[in-house]
Chains A and B, each alone.
Chain A
Amino acid sequence: MKKFFVDIYYVWWNELKVVFKDPAVILLFFIVPLAYPLIYAYIYNNEVAQHVPIVAVDDSRSAKGREFIRMVDASPDVNVVARAANMEEAREMLRREEVYSILYLPNDFSKRIGRTEQVPVFVYADMSSMLFYKASVLSVTEASLKMGADIRVSEMEHGTQAQDEASMQAVKYEWIPFYNTPNGFASFFVPAVLILIIQQTLVLGISTLVGTHNDRKTFTVASLVAYGKNVNAVGLTIGKAFCYSSLYLIVSVWILRVIPYIFNLPQIGDPVTIMAFVFPYLLAATFFSMTISYFASQREFSMLLFTFTSVLLIFLTGISWPWTAMPGALKAIAYIFPSTPGVHAFVKINTMGATLYDVGFEITVLWIQTLFYCVLASLMYRWWIRNYDPRFKGQLVPGK
């Protein structure tokens, strides 16, 4: 038993040397996790689309119409950059991408309000981005409700101030967005990306290591410990995993603690709870990476094999297309990967302030994945040793 622990330590130490000797692995283990979160946070730092340029077409040419357009323009979301004479002119601006939506007031806008008739205003939005559509429809709706309330009061005849308010709005309502108060893109998207970066760089880095061993045919995976030491597959797997995980403990402080702090992402999680989550997540991700690194038969193949999965995995975490609306079969597939419970747990803890009890399910899943992938990775290394270890091949390399 004592030998087992010494073996783990020995493998751990040797693997550290291998990691730091390989520039490709240093790039994937340290530079990419350092730089990527910065890039992503920088990309989404503005959080919301403000001042979306729109054009107004006021066919009524009335004081009421101009007032309405001013009210729309006052909203922070849109910016009425031009007033077009007719729809054709406005459409041309839309085609040239000078504006992203058109606000159209019909020619009887003011007249119909005066006659107590309902009057529609029209918004035509370009759908190249949902956010443009949302911004223009929301701000025009706000303006219509506000102006509508004023009109209603004057029609129902003024009473006391309190009565006026009640006829403006019989029932008040308030919207409180939880957890992501600026309702921003970074606060929603970047936490998931951070967790995924950890898993994907581990996959790429470990696959590069395995691919390199394959290329060189020096069988270092096993042979580093083969000379004089008889390390079994389980010891080898655990030793290596501890090496990678311990390095990633440092990396995850940067990714999960410093980055949200620098970029003001929601961060209300308890550091102790985050630690309790990080341990199983790193172990599960490491063993998972070691398992699938089996397929990396050349040094460069890790990229070709696994890069595209990042896109699918981010969708499978259910952060974009909401988890609740995802087909059951895909939910099952999603749970194969540590990133899914990882993102769920991290968003719950860090964005929503959940306690350890609330994320009990995710943490359990991560520990189960750790065990499962540990067994698979051990089998994978057993296969390695069987196939490549000089002792089994009967071709002990001379020297050393």
Chain B
Amino acid sequence: MNTKTGIWAIAKREFRRMASSKICIWGIVFAPIFSLCLLIYMMNAGLPTKIPIAVVDLDNSSTSRALARQLDAFAKTDIAFKSLSFREAREQMERWEVYAVLTIPRDFSKDATSGAQPKLVFYTNNAFLISGSLLFQDLKTACVLASASVGLKTAEAKGITESQIMPVLQPITVESHALSNPWLNYSLYLNNMVLPGILQLIVLMFTVSALGCEVKAGEGSKLMNMGGNSIWKVMCGKLLPYTAVYMLIALLFMSILYFYNHFPLNNGFVPMLAGYFALIIATQALGVILLGIFPNYRLALSTASLIGILTFSLTGFSFPIQAMDSCLYAISHLLPLRHFFRIYVDQALNGLTIGYSAYSYAILLCFVLLSFLFYGRIKDFLSENKYEE
């Protein structure tokens, strides 16, 4: 029997348990690495390119063909079909063969030059919001350009000199600057948060299970003895080995995101490393709090996975939290990932001084302080050592 006591003995025992448990290797090591590879590979292009569309050209003049060629030259759009009828194109859209349809009306070029204002109509499949809005941009640009090229001819006919034409056609131009993500890179936008989200989910569940499985195996009281009946020693010995492993995973994430993919890391390495560290310990603390609230292994674990999954929506990196119901906005502050998101936006993306994020770091540390209140209940949970199904 193991007679050693103290933090170090518990930590050594924990490392051994981790290395010999298939579920830990699957969940803590394999799951994040697999997710990392899959998501980075999926969005490697940054932006979807060559999304297929159909053009229904009822005019079939040199002007309309030029319009189609111009559209085809855009990076995001690929004219996959030139359909003869709208009906045919719509059926292709229903089968997901094309994601948008542009219709050019009969007598388009004649009407355009004679001032009869022909109408180009484009349809996008918005069951796919992202490809729908990307194609919308391209199609709209093409239509504006078509309008401009016709306007060019009319203006020349009215005797406006060439140097004056552009200001006449487009008096006001818009220069949009997407701060810190000028490429509108989706991989940058999603993976920078989805990966920490997966990490949070895993940390939350495995913190609950690290303590819960001791009771299930009937080793709770033995563990307390190893820690000299001090819950502080037990918790340090139990949780810090996991913190170390999670930090290695976080470093792997950071190396792929910031060094391999060169995503913006405007304030350098240290603030984000601190951000990941704060996320990990805050999430571990939240796991402890959950087990303190529901001193039942399975129930705490179910709650952890429920929270972990909802976090992806409630952090607000895909659909902004400000646009949700205000009650959800309040709830989102109870999730460590929400505060990590603020740190990431300020420190990595926008490169603000650390002062703007100090509040978020502080809240994450407050999770840890808050969890100390539940250590008494965890102690009872371990000492009673009673497994409920």
A residues contacting B by CB (< 8 A) are 24, 27-28, 32, 39-40, 42-46, 48-50, 68, 95-96, 113, 116-134, 136-137, 140-141, 144-145, 147-148, 151-152, 155-157, 162-163, 165-167, 169-181, 183, 185, 187-189, 191, 212, 266, 297-301, 303-305, 307-308, 310-312, 315-316, 319-327, 329-330, 344, 347-348, 351-354, 358
Q: Which of B95, B146, B212 contacts A300 (CB 8 A)?
A: B212
User: From residue B152, how far is it (CB to closest CB) to chain A in Å?
Assistant: 9
A308 to B178, CA, bound (A): 32
A33 to B72, CA, bound (A): 44
Q: Are A152 and B313 in contact (CB under 8 A)?
A: no
Is B84 close to A, CB under 8 A? no
B residues contacting A by CB (< 8 A) are 23, 26-27, 31, 34-35, 38-39, 41-45, 48-52, 91, 93-96, 99, 108, 112, 115-133, 136, 139-140, 143-144, 146-148, 150-151, 154-155, 158, 160, 164, 166-181, 184, 186, 189-190, 194, 197-198, 201-202, 205-206, 209, 212-213, 216, 297-298, 301-302, 304-306, 308-310, 312-314, 316-320, 322-325, 328, 341, 345-346, 349-350, 352, 356, 389
A152 to B172, CA, bound (A): 10
Q: Are B132 and A174 in contact (CB under 8 A)?
A: no
Q: Are A152 and B99 in contact (CB under 8 A)?
A: no
- CB<8 Å pairs between A and B, sample of 7: A129-B319, A172-B119, A180-B129, A303-B302, A303-B305, A305-B26, A307-B201
Majority secondary structure of chain B interface residues (helix, strand, loop or mixed): helix
User: From residue A194, how far is it (CB to closest CB) to chain B in Å?
Assistant: 14
User: From residue B320, how far is it (CB to closest CB) to chain A in Å?
Assistant: 4
User: From residue A33, how far is it (CB to closest CB) to chain B in Å?
Assistant: 13
Q: Are A185 and B127 in contact (CB under 8 A)?
A: no
Chain B residues near A301 (CB, 8 Å)?
23
User: From residue B326, how far is it (CB to closest CB) to chain A in Å?
Assistant: 11
Q: Are B124 and A177 in contact (CB under 8 A)?
A: yes
Q: Are A322 and B99 in contact (CB under 8 A)?
A: yes
User: From residue B219, how far is it (CB to closest CB) to chain A in Å?
Assistant: 15
Q: Are B119 and A304 in contact (CB under 8 A)?
A: no
Q: Are B167 and A325 in contact (CB under 8 A)?
A: no
Chain A residues near B167 (CB, 8 Å)?
116-118
Q: Which of B117, B133, B180 contacts A169 (CB 8 A)?
A: B117
A325 to B76, CA, bound (A): 10
Please name the residue on chain A nearest to B188 by beta carbon. Answer: A127
User: From residue B206, how far is it (CB to closest CB) to chain A in Å?
Assistant: 7
Please name the residue on chain B nearest to A358 by beta carbon. Answer: B94
A322-B51 contact given A116-B168, A174-B121, CB 8 Å threshold: yes
Please name the residue on chain B nearest to A96 by beta carbon. Answer: B356
Chain A residues near B133 (CB, 8 Å)?
134, 183
Q: Which of A145, A147, A167, A325 contacts B151 (CB 8 A)?
A: A167
